[in-house]
Structure formats: structure tokens, C-alpha cells
A and B are shown apart, each in its own frame.
Chain A
Amino acid sequence: MSRADPITTEVVRNFVISCAEDMNASLWRSAHSAIIYEGKDSAVALMDEHGNMLGQSTGVPLFIGAIDVCVRHVKDYYGDDIHQGDIFIMNDSYMQGTHLHDVTAIGPIFHDGELVGFGAARAHWNDIGAMDPGSTMSSQNIYQEGLRLGPTRIMSQGKPIREWYDHLKLNTRLEGATIGDLGAQVAAIRTGETRLGQLLSKIGSATYRASCQNIFEQARRMDKAAIAALPNGTWSREGYLDNDGVGDQPVKVALTLTVKDEDLIIDLTGTSGPVAGSINCGASQTESLLRLAYKTMISPEGAITGGAFETMHVVMPEECLFNAGEPSACEWYFTGLGLLADLFISCLSEAMPERSTAAHYGDSMVVGFFSVDPKRGQWISIEPTAGGWGGRADSDGESALINLVNGGFRNIPAEVMETKFPVRLEEFSMRPDSAGPGKNRGGLGVVRRYKMLEDNFGAIWFERSNTPAWGLNGGQEGQGPEINLTFPDGTVDHPLKMRASALPEGTIVECKTGGGGGNGDPMQRAFADVARDVRRGLVSPEAAKTYYGVVIQPDGTVDQSASVIR
């Protein structure tokens, strides 16, 4: 085997990171659907010829893993029958872990006739032929969720296979956009092919391979060193999801973390088995989530290059919510992952007290309004809602921030929403007293109050009322979510989950998201910090007294003699 010097290795390592960014830039540039080029609901990767991850770029943090597994499925299925210019696609929830909307395209990369690697591009397709347009909230098995594909060759040696393209077109309500988005994914893979070709022409494939081995070895060494620095031990946590989206029973999520020398073992034994609703998640995406949570704690700055995560081992029971198999529905697979991440981060916080972080508000908290009346025009406004994050070892949790599994989503401004849709935003503010009290308190959730200006429809998916964001080290839990629907006739309802329902003109929909958990004993929070929170209206004087033992006088100053001494 050829050797690669450290300089060439570093040039190659920087190259694979940049190459992945270029591939994603190509994808975003040429995608047809806003969810990809604006929502950035996509991920790309450059891998070696065995499917080992080299460089990756993602718009959605949750896609950090579970792409390399697609290459392995393609290789298992097609063996040597893989040729230059071929493109394969797949979306099966049980193979790649996510919902069927996420379609992964994979292409081999050849140089001088030799297989040197794979490029892959995953993107969210808006309509994959499910029982309802777009995303269904009512599926109870995967067959209701749309077209399901294992590894499937759709392009052979650069030529599209016509019958497969036609098949895709016949199975979506959005034919043009779907084929356009697929074209963008192919363009991303081609960008990777071109860029890698340029590098290989300079340094040759033997040096490239040797550099890749060095990169894997470096990443392995760094991971091992990071785990070895943690104390050995075992920590367990559990919590409950509100329900599975169709029933009303809480769903248990349990996690045990073991650190043993250079290895990290995550055991999900104790977690609920598969459920009837669509919150089941495939094993690869579960691992992906755990990689994300691991990365947020261990190495948030570093780029993702090969070899990473080899020291992380996930144990899942056969029958498990997070190890979905036929015929479990997976459309809302991500809803349980926020809780799973919080449990994992809390366990890891015991081993890494200096980075300890309490639980966050936990789910995407999706609110949508729409009209399907063709006479008045069809429109849809749908968005996740921000909430509070957990208090940290050395600072308060951030307020009004989008949840962990999302990343770049921004709220829709009142001025845009009201201009485009018959919906008025009456309030957008931080939710006072929603933060979990602590020496370092959690972040605050938000209040968004909408008024229907016409007869509209609405849908809601909120979570984490059963297990709101908990505190650590004596910190307390944040408030959970709350929905207040007030109809024009004065009736009131509080549905945290609501399938498409009529919202007559004048209906008020008030959505409150939860706060983050506190970190450390609130009785140790500095007087000045409590006084500042009260001055800013984030904590009420009553809560300051009850949770922090701090008496705030009418002029905003602390009555030291009446307060609990720190």
C-alpha cells in the first residue's frame, strides 16, 4: 500500500469536507422544491468504495448518519453489477431509518475505470404518494405512507431507465417537482464525481486511498481519546411520549449509557415496542440521532470525516419503537427522537459534568393552517415552533430556539404571514415562567397566538406534556406545552395533537411551547440574575420568590433580608 504524507492527508481531508459542501450547494442550487433549497431538508456525503464516510454536509442535523448505510444496501443488492454513471435510489424506512419522504440517491464514482468511492444525496420529497397529500398524520402502517423503495437502479451508465422514471411519476401528486428534485440529487453526485476526479488527476488513486486510511485513523484516535477521557460508569434514564398520535396511551422511552474504557454503549432496552401510530423509527435513523447527540456533547466544532462514531455501540431490542420493522408506520419518526436525545445527553452529562446540559422542550411542535377550497384558492402555511433549551453547567439555556433535530428553520414573520394568508399573528413573545428554575435556568418557550380571518383548516402536532424538559443537578423542570383553541361561539379546547380540522373565522389558536430544564439548585442562582430576569419580564416576582427564594421589591431591587441567603 502506498503511503501518504501528513500534508497530502490534510489536503485530502480538507478536500472531502469542501467537496461535500459543493455537492450540497449543487443540490440546493438545482432543487425544485422550497423544502430543499430553503428548508435545507437534505444531506450529501462522499464515501470510499466500501461506503465508509469521508465527507458530509447536511442542512438537517439529524441526517448526520444513516447515509453510508445506503451504500452498503446498494452493494449488498447489486454486488459487482455497479457501473460508471449508474444512479440508485432508496427510501425504505426500515433500511435507512427515516420516513418515505426522504429519498436517497447513490452513485458510484470511478476514476480511470476503477471504483474509487460513492456519492450520495438525500432530499425530502414533498409527496411520495401517501394516503393524504404531503405528510399524513393518520397512517397506521407503512403501506399507507407511500411508495417504498429498496435499492433501485434508476439510471444505467448515465442513461435514465425510462420505466422507473415513469413509475415514480405515477406515484406522486407532484410529478414535475419530484423529477426535478431527483435531477438535483443526481447533479450533486455528479459534482462530487467531478471534484474527486480533479483531485485524483493530481495525486493519483493510490495516494488518495492512503490518505483516506490516515483520515479514518485520525478520527478513530480522536474518538477513542474523547471516550477514554470519560470516567467508566453506567447511567440510566427514562421518559414518556404523550401518545403515538392515534391512541392516548403514553409511550415509554428508556436508555442506559455505559462508558467502558474507549467504548460507549447505548442500550435502549426498556423502551416501548412498536406502536400503532406513525412515531416508529428505523434503526439507522435512531443511530443517526444518537450520533448527533454524541457530537453535540463531544465535538460540536469538528467536521464529520470518516471513522467517526466507531466507538459508539447501540443495543436495541428486536421489538422496539426505535427499531421499526414491517408493517410499522414511520411518518412522524422524529417525534420520539427529541426525547431520546435528551435522555442520552442527561446520561452523558453525568460523565461530563463540565458540559452538562438539561433537557430541551423536545419536539418540532408543528402548527399548520390551510385552505383546500378551490374557489377561494388553496394555500398552506406550516412551521415548527421554537422553545426553550436546557440550562448548562456554566450558563442559562437558550430561549425560543428551534429543536435539536431541526436546525435552520426560521419562524414565519407576522408581516409575511398576514400578507399572504388570512391568518393574523396576534402575539409572538417569550412565555414568562416557562423556563425550568435552576442556578443556570432553562431557556423560555414562546407564545404564538393566531386569529383566523376566514374559515380555515388547521393541524397541530405538539409533544412532551407527559415528560417536559427536566432539570439536572437540582435544577427543575420547565413548563410543558399548551394549546388553547377558542372558537367564535366561545367554546374552548386544548388539543396538543389535532388532525386537519375546521377553524371558523374568528377562531383564536394560542400555542405555547415548553421551556428548558434548569441546571443546578435555583436557590444558588445569583440575586442579580434573578432580579434581571424579573426586570426583563421572563420570571414573575411570584416565581422568583417560590423557586429562587428571592423577594423582588416594587422598584425591581432585591430585598436581601427577606430572601434566602446564598
Chain B
Amino acid sequence: MSKNFRVSADIGGTFTDIVYQDVETGRCGAAKVLSTPDNPALAVLKGIDQVLGADGTLAFFVHGTTVGLNALLTRKGSKVALLTNENFRDIYTIQGNNRGEIFSIQWDKPEPLTPLEHTYTVAGRIAASGEELDPLRLSDLDTLVDACKREGYEAIAISLLFSFNNAAHEIAVRDYLAARLPDVQLVMSHEVSPEWREFERTSTTVTDAYLAPVVRKYIATLQNEMGDRLPDGGSLHVMESNGGVMTAATATQTPLQTLLSGPVGGAIGGKSLSKATGRGNLICVDMGGTSFDASLVIDGLPSTSNEALLEGLPLQMSVVDIHVIGAGGGSIAWKEAGAARVGPQSAGSKPGPVCYGLGGTEPVVSDANLVLGRLDGANFGGGEMILDRDAAAAALAELGDDFDMNAEEMAQGVIDIVNAKMADAIRTITIQRGIDPREFSLVAFGGAGPAQAAALAQELEIKEVIIPVHPGAFSAWGMLQTDVKHDFKETLYSFWDQIDVATLDTAFAGLEQRGRTFLGDEGITGDRVAFERAIDFRYFGQEYVLTIPIAEGAINMDKIRADFDAAYLRQYGHNSPENRVEMANVRLAALGRLERPANAPPLPVAARPERSRDVWFAGTAHPTRIIDRNALDDGDAVQGPAIIEEVTSTTLLPPGWTAQLIEGGHMTLTKEDAA
């Protein structure tokens, strides 16, 4: 009988990572295949065939995609027209009027996704109360209707003032345009983001419109290409920026939610790891060849926000916080005024490190790792590329010349600088949140993370590192760990002491109804449905809010108020229980539980025999064991120095450190305390 698997794919620019889980046993395996950017499905299918063979069937398929993000980064989204109120045509172009770089007079605002000449206005105005001040003059729209054919708009973003309080004008505009422009996608701001702040809401709406045709086409192609390989004759799930998953149909309706589809998997993996290992507080670092991101899990939950900034443009949506720390292995080492510097410039993947032999001439962090023996030049990326150690050493020796340092010394120096710098950046994130990193475990994943983890932990005085299962494909692993999640919200502004429970109940009931309908359309009903409520609060006079979760059951006004004061104290180190409190938005997450087996240790794979080579630590070459992670059994301990290899990544264990497999097949690294 053929086996049944839950499968996830993290489709990146260079590699597509596949993780598969046996539905019966809960055991997982991973594979990496080169991406096929022109038709991402090819890589996915190749990966699936490679790991499951022709017999294995898919019980569930989820993937993370960077299609939306890439369309935004490369400005290859659809052609969008924007419709706003008369006298407010320029709000999307003016933006927040703050300066992104405060020491520059050459700074330009982020380029809007659609320029002013494609912005149209309509007379008519809703007041803050939701009342109509001026009636809508629909004939103004004829200019847009006429222009649409000429300009070839694929989507129209409709964003009118106070539509979150009264959507009548947006709906009337949509109806008028729909009757005349049946082939154009119409996106209304009150549907995409019923939340106040017109520039941010407009930016969110335009981005959604910009991505909609691209994401729709991508999903249709993927479904078509994968065909009957998909479960239930075509069922496809997509990772959401908020850490949940959604069906393909939902992704087509809310393309915005696919934006952080890829990296968010790692943070969700962190959440699952937290539960499995009983460690509540994690700093998760994801280090690839040219990127280095960090996220936090606090008390078992990933840290999240209700606003994101992409390419400098704000988006009102729930996201898991992913902090970009730097360029990772691609950071360039250089000299300036007699000083040695590393980064912030990155060699990227082209020309890449000197050792790639693709034309790079400036040494980067990966070159230093190779020179120190920490990378296997003959077996890089599963043997897809041979690395040129001599070229890397020559480049480092040349840089070291000015400082009287040889190649190995310079390489160690580059690593020391970049580790200290990354540790500083991580520390700043924790201080911003009032957290002491020493109380956290460091989770390291991505292709390059496990090689850097011990040194980073030492800098941060963190006592324990966790290298999870399949570290190089951990984001894909995380995607198998989550449920369906959709966010709903409504701006409801009031002093907390002036609003009554009935008003709140009505607002939440409205959101729940929408959530239930949404999940029902995805086939999720009954006791698989759950809700999480929250309200945004702040002290009177403040601008930014804290989102406070509301416990299940009847609303307890006093308790919620006390919860806000307590949360404020945690976040800011003090609070003002005597001050009045304002509420700004009510929020509801609709959750749809997915069936899945309990996690088990990885599927057993034959281990490569142990080898040995010289690796440099703190200026000295040490003969070092090279061990296959598959050769380790639960509870086995390895003393450093050692290198622990597996298909997706390589872990560096410096002298004085011990590696040990723990429950679930995860691995801890700890250091003997010198004292």
C-alpha cells in the first residue's frame, strides 16, 4: 500500500526546500532542490518525486512562496489605478512626510506602486461619525472608466476616507465600476483593511491590488502543473504572513497575505520547537548565504505586529516579526582609513564570495569560513559547487597585508567582527523589548546558521543553542506545524470608560460571523473552529497601541484594563494605571484546526562515515572530527571541536562545547562553564 504524506515546500530564489511527514508515524524528512523560478512547480515536483517516489501520495500540501514579495521588490506587479477622495489625491504619494534617513538631504521617499497620473478622485465625503457629509458624485468616475481601456489597468484600488466606519461610498463606486469594467479587479479598502489612517490603509489596498493578478496567475499555474499530485484533486495551502495557512482560493482573494509567506515558517517552527522542548523563550536566527534574520518566541508565542513595512511602504496586516539583521555570509570585508570593516555591503549571490569563482574579488564572510576549514569546499550545497579555497585565501591575505595579518588571521578577524556585530544587533532587538537575551535559548537554522551559532551564543552569553531537525529546511518544517488562521478587524475608537460591553459584543459577533463564513467556505466547521479576540489600547494622548488579548467568555472590562496596564509595564518598564485609556481597534483571529500527527524524530537515513580535517579555532588549527548527524542517537553527546554534517546544513562545534540529541531529534549545543 502506498504511503500518505503531509508535504511542505519553501520556494526560495535559489533553493526549494521540501519537508515531508509520514501521516502514520509523524516522522519527517527533508530535501533541497534547485529552484525553477520560471515555473516554480517543476522544482516542487522534482523534490517530491525525489523523496516520495512515484507511490507516495500527498494528504496535505502547503507551501511558502516569494512570488508576491518578488513582484513587489522588482516592481513587476500589475498595473493599478487608485481612486481616492477629491482634495486627497496625493495622500499615497505624500506618504507620512517623515524622512527615512535623517542625515541625508538626498533621500527620496519609497517609489509608490502606482504613480500620481494613475490616481483618480471622486467628490463625496463621509465624516468621522460615519455620516455622509457630501453625496458621492459618481459621474466623476467616468474619467477613470474612459482611461481604463487606454491605460490597460488590471486592477483598481478604491480607498475613501472613513470607509471603515461607513463603506457605502466605496461599495457604490465598486458597483458603478464593476458594471462598466467587468474584467478589472476591484479592491476596496474597507475589505482589505477596515482600519483608520488613510495613507496606511491606501498603501495596503494598493499593494493588494498590485499583487492580486500576479498571485492569482501563480496559484492557477501551480495547481495546473501539480495536477493530480495534489491531495483531494487539487487542494493547495499557502503560508500566510500571520503565521497561519490558507487555501489557494483564500490566497487568491487576499494576495497580500502571501507576502511574508516564506520566512514566517521559521518563526512558526520556533513556536512548535518551544512547545516540544519545553523552552518558552527563544531567539531564532535564520542565516542563509546572503541573509540573516531574527525572530523571537516569548512565553511560547512568536512575537507579532499589526503593521509591516515593505520597501518602505506600510501595510496594515498581522505579521510575525522578522528582523533583518544583515547580509550574513555575503558581507564584504574591506578597509577604510586604516580600519578593517565588514559589511554592510553584501556580495549577494552574484558575484558572490571569491571562492565561488563567479567574479567576486572582495573577500566575504563565507570566504573566511572556508579558509578556516569550517566549510567543506569539495562538498558545498550537496556537491553542486566546488569552492576555491586558494582564491579566498589570496583575497584575505591581500586585505590582511595592511594589518600585518596572514590569510588565516584575517579570516578569523572577519569572523570575529561579524559575530560581534550580529550579536550587537540581536541584543538591540531584545533591549527594545525589555528582554535579557541570557534567559533565552538560541535557535539557529538556515544553511549557514548552525555554523555561526556557538560563537553568537558566546557573544550574547546565551547558555544553550538548539539546532532543530532539518535546520537548512526549517522554514518548510515550520509550515507543517501550523493551522488555518485569518485575521479580521474593525476600528472602534472610544475611551475605555465610555464604551459598554454590548457595543463590544456586537462588534466581536460581527467579526466572528465573518470568520465563521470564511472558514466554512474553506470546509472548516464545528469544533475545528476557534476564535482569538484582542483590542488595541493606549493611554490617552499616545499615538501607538498595544494589542491586548481578550480571554474567552464574557468581557470583563476591569480585567482587560488591568491586563493593559500590566502589558504596558512589561513592554515599557513602567505604566500609568491612573491615566485614561483609549481603544482604537477590535481584532479577531479565526482559527481552523488542521489534522496532523504528533511530531516524531526524523526518518532514519544512512550516515556517511566519520572523517577528519584541520579546522581553525582562535588562531590555531585543530584536527577536527567530521560527523554525520544521522550517526547520532538520542542522548549521544559529542565533544568539540567537531563538525556535524547533514544534508541541509553544517553545525560547527568549537572546543569546549558539547552537542547532544534531545527529544524530537533536535540537538543542543552547550558550553562547559569555565568557572
Could you list which residues of chain A lie within 8 angstroms of chain B, going by C-beta atoms?
Answer: 5-7, 9-11, 13-15, 18, 21-22, 25-26, 29-30, 32, 34, 37-38, 58, 60-61, 64, 176, 180, 183, 187, 191, 198, 214, 217-219, 221-222, 225, 292, 295-297, 300-301, 345, 355, 357, 360, 386, 389-390, 392, 395, 398-402, 404, 406-411, 413-416, 418-420, 424, 426-430, 446, 449, 532, 535-538
Contact B87 A300 (CB under 8 A): no
Contact A21 B428 (CB under 8 A): yes
Select one of A15, A297, A390, A428 contacting B420, CB under 8 A: A15
Complex Cα spacing A406 to B103, Å: 10
Complex Cα spacing A360 to B339, Å: 36
Contact B427 A7 (CB under 8 A): no
Known: A18-B424, A414-B198. A390 touches B94 (CB 8 A): no
Contact A191 B161 (CB under 8 A): no
Select one of A15, A64, A399, A407 contacting B94, CB under 8 A: A399
B621 interface contact, C-beta 8 A: no
Q: What is the distance, in angstroms, from A117's C-beta to the closest C-beta of chain B?
A: 17
Q: A222-B337, A536-B115 are in contact. List 11 more A-B contacts (CB 8 A).
A: A5-B403, A13-B339, A29-B571, A29-B572, A30-B573, A191-B431, A218-B337, A222-B336, A225-B337, A407-B99, A419-B493
Complex Cα spacing A198 to B338, Å: 27
Complex Cα spacing A22 to B426, Å: 11
List chain A residues, Cβ under 8 A from B483: none
List chain A residues, Cβ under 8 A from B97: 386, 400-402, 409-411, 446
The DSSP consensus for interface residues of chain A is helix
B93-114 residues at the A interface, CB under 8 angstroms:
93-99, 101-109
B313-353 residues at the A interface, CB under 8 angstroms:
336-342
List chain A residues, Cβ under 8 A from B493: 419-420
B89 interface contact, C-beta 8 A: yes
What are 22 inter-chain pairs, A to B, with CB distance below 8 A? Answer: A15-B420, A15-B424, A22-B428, A25-B428, A29-B573, A38-B543, A38-B544, A300-B104, A392-B105, A398-B108, A400-B97, A411-B97, A413-B196, A415-B196, A416-B196, A418-B127, A419-B128, A420-B493, A424-B127, A428-B94, A429-B94, A538-B116
B471 interface contact, C-beta 8 A: no
- Residue ID in chain B nearest A400 by CB atoms: B94
Complex Cα spacing A538 to B425, Å: 42
The DSSP consensus for interface residues of chain B is loop
List chain A residues, Cβ under 8 A from B431: 22, 25-26, 29, 191
Contact B340 A536 (CB under 8 A): no
- Residue ID in chain B nearest A420 by CB atoms: B493
Known: A389-B105, A407-B102. A415 touches B90 (CB 8 A): no
Known: A6-B339, A30-B574, A222-B336. A408 touches B196 (CB 8 A): no
Query: Could you say which interface size class chain B belongs to?
Result: 35 or more
B91 interface contact, C-beta 8 A: yes
B383 interface contact, C-beta 8 A: no
- Residue ID in chain A nearest B195 by CB atoms: A415
- Residue ID in chain B nearest A19 by CB atoms: B424
Q: What is the distance, in angstroms, from A225's C-beta to the closest C-beta of chain B?
A: 7
B401-435 residues at the A interface, CB under 8 angstroms:
403, 405, 412-413, 416-417, 420-421, 424-425, 427-428, 431-432, 434
List chain B residues, Cβ under 8 A from A214: 338-339
Complex Cα spacing A176 to B87, Å: 42
Complex Cα spacing A362 to B424, Å: 37
Contact B340 A7 (CB under 8 A): yes
Complex Cα spacing A26 to B96, Å: 25
- Residue ID in chain B nearest A386 by CB atoms: B97
Known: A29-B432, A296-B103. A14 touches B196 (CB 8 A): no
Contact B417 A14 (CB under 8 A): yes
Known: A29-B572, A32-B574, A386-B94. A535 touches B197 (CB 8 A): no
- Residue ID in chain A nearest B425 by CB atoms: A18
B380 interface contact, C-beta 8 A: no
B117 interface contact, C-beta 8 A: yes
Q: What is the distance, in angstroms, from A250's C-beta to the closest C-beta of chain B?
A: 26
List chain B residues, Cβ under 8 A from A18: 421, 424-425, 427-428
